[in-house]
Amino acid sequence: MALADILMLGRMLPVVEETLASRFTVHKVGRDEVASLDPGLAARIAGVACGAHVPVDAPLIDRLPKLEIVANFGVGYDSVDAAHCASKGICVTNTPDVLSEEVADTALGLLLMTARELSAAERYLRAGNWVGKGPYPLTAGTLRGRKLGILGLGRIGKAIARRAEAFGMEIHYHGRSRQADVAYPYHPTLAGMAEACDTLMVVAPGGASTRGIVDAGVLKALGPQGIVINVGRGTVIDEPALVAALADGTILSAGLDVFAEEPKVPQALIDMERVVLLPHVGSASRHTRDAMGRLCAENLISWFETGQPVTPVAETPFERKV
C-alpha cells in the first residue's frame, strides 16, 4: 500500500521519480499548473517533493490542509517559505553535504577561470587569433598573493577554504557569528572583510536576510584588483551595482554561477568579455545530482516510515505526529 499522496512539483531526476513511485502515490504538477490544482487532490496531499527552485509559498502551503513535509531538491531552500511551514508544524528538508565537495570544485574552477581569463583565452584560440594575432595578452589578474574573503563559511564555504589554502591564498570569513573552532580571521561586518581582502567568495544562502548585501560599498572596498565569485545565490549581490563596478573598473572581474533572476542574465554581463558566466552548474554532475535526488526521496520515505526526517532544516526540527 502506498505510504501517502505526494505532490511532485516541477521536473525531477529519474532516481527521484522511480524511488517515490515505488513507495507513494505521486501526482506530478508542472510549475505553471500549481495555481489551478484540483481542490480534491490538494486535500489528499501529505508530502511535497520540490524540484529545482519551484516556489513553495504560503498560498500553496495553505491550500494543502494535510501537508506534513516539504522535501526540497537542493541544499538552498530560499524558494520554500520555511518560516510559514514552521508555524504550521510542517517539516522542511534539504540535501546538505552530498554536494559540498562538487560545488567547492566548481567555485575554485570559476575563480581560476576568472583570475586568469581562461574562458576568454580559449575563445581567442578557437577564433584563430593565436595564429592570426599571436599570443593571448598577459592577464591583469593572478591568484598569487590574493586574500580571499568567504561570505558564508558553512559546509561549502569550508570545502572552498581548504582548496584555496592549497592554492596559497590567505582566508578570511564573514557570517552572522564567529565560529569557535575556526582559526581564519573573522570579520563582524561584510564591508570590513572587503576592506581586508581583494577577492570575495559568495556562498551564503538566498532570502531576505542576504538580499543585496554585496552592494556598491562592498565592491568599492575590494579595490581595483577585486574579484567577486558567486556560487551562493544571485540575490545576495546587488546585480546592477556589480555591473556598474565591472564597467567602470571599480573591481577587476567576476565569476558567476548564480544570478538574481535565473535563467535571465543581464545583457551587460554577457557583453563583458572578461567576466565568466556559468548556468548554475555548481552541483551539476550526474554523480552529485543523483546523490541529492536519493537524499530528497529518503527524507520523504523516512518521514512516513519512521516519523523522522533525515536532513530537516534548522527552522523545522520536527518529528511526525501520529
**How far, rounded to the nearest angstrom, does the alpha carbon of residue 203 sit from its chain's CA centroid?**
7
What residue 52 binds from ligand 8YV, ligand NAP, none (CB within 5 to 8 A, per partner kind)? ligand 8YV
Assigned C-alpha cell, 225: 584588483
Side-by-side strand order, sheet with 276-277: 170-174, 147-151, 199-202, 227-230, 253-256, 276-277
Query: Of 111, 56, 77, 58, which is closest to residue 256 (Cα–Cα)?
Result: 111
Could you confirm whether 174 is annotated as catalytic? no
Of the candidates 24, 73, 303, 318, which one interacts with ligand 8YV according to CB under 6 A?
A: 73
Residues found near ligand NAP in the complex (CB under 6 A): 75-76, 96, 99, 103, 152-157, 175-177, 203-206, 209-210, 231-233, 257-258, 280, 282-283
Active-site residue, selected from the candidate residues 262, 294, 298, 320: 262
Closest CA to 74 of 313, 315, 316, 318: 313
Closer of 29 and 153 to ligand NAP (Cβ) = 153
- Residue 73 interacting partner from ligand 8YV, ligand NAP, none (CB closer than 5 to 8 Å by kind): ligand 8YV
* 283: contact with ligand 8YV by CB under 6 A: yes
170 belongs to the catalytic site: no
Q: Which of 146, 187, 280, 289 is catalytic?
A: 280
Question: Which string of DSSP letters, residue by residue, matches 176-232?
Answer: SS--TT--SPB-SSHHHHHHH-SEEEE----SGGGTT-B-HHHHHHH-TT-EEEE-S
DSSP secondary structure, 227-257, as one string: EEEE-S-GGGB-HHHHHHHHHTTSSSEEEES
- Does 99 interact with ligand 8YV (rule: CB under 6 A)? yes
- Would you count residue 293 as binding ligand 8YV (CB under 6 A)? no
- Binder to ligand 8YV among 3, 52, 121, 191 (CB under 6 A)? 52
Q: Report the residue number, 74 or 141, with the smaller CB distance to ligand 8YV.
A: 74
Does the annotation mark 123 as catalytic?
Answer: no
Active-site residue (options: 146, 172, 174, 233): 233
